[in-house]
Amino acid sequence: MLALTIRRHDTRRAVKVLRNPSGSLVDLTGAEVKFIMTKNGRLLINWATDIIEAKNGVVCFAFERGEVMELCIMKAEFEVTYLYFSIESFPIDRFITIEIVADLA
């Protein structure tokens, strides 16, 4: 299972390498990548990510403060739109589980 645990109010950047089920890197040259996150089927985030290394499938995203206020567990994925408009979601066989946990203040 792919998982990310983050404390409430944290907005650190997260870097992710996108891979095919075979483990090979996804070439993102000319592509656009979105980070999509839902809670109980309700869309919370659907925005473009930064592509850091296109040939090696490296993307980066950061939460904004208002997006990490509620203590909860959410599902997320990356949606890639390739140069010729085909679309593929990563990870392919499951979702990323994101848990927002309490902070001290």
Model confidence over 85-95: pLDDT tens digits?
A: 999 999 988 89
Give residue 13's domain range.
2-101
Where residue 13 falls among pLDDT bands split at 50, 70, 90? confident
- Quick one: pLDDT at residue 64? 85
User: Any residues with CB less than 8 A from the CB of 65 and at least 6 apart, and which?
Assistant: 9, 11
Encode 17-31: b = buried (16+ Cβ within 10 Å), e = exposed. Answer: ebeeeeeeebebeeb
**What are the Cα distances from residue 101, in Å, to 5, 35, 38, 68?**
7, 20, 17, 9
Render pLDDT for 49-90 as a digit per residue (tens, 0 to 9): 999 999 999 999 888 878 888 899 999 999 999 998 999 999
Q: What is the CATH number of the domain that holds 54?
A: 2.60.40.3350
pTM for the predicted model, two decimal places: 0.88
Per-residue pLDDT at 28 exceeds 60: yes
- Domain count for the chain: 1
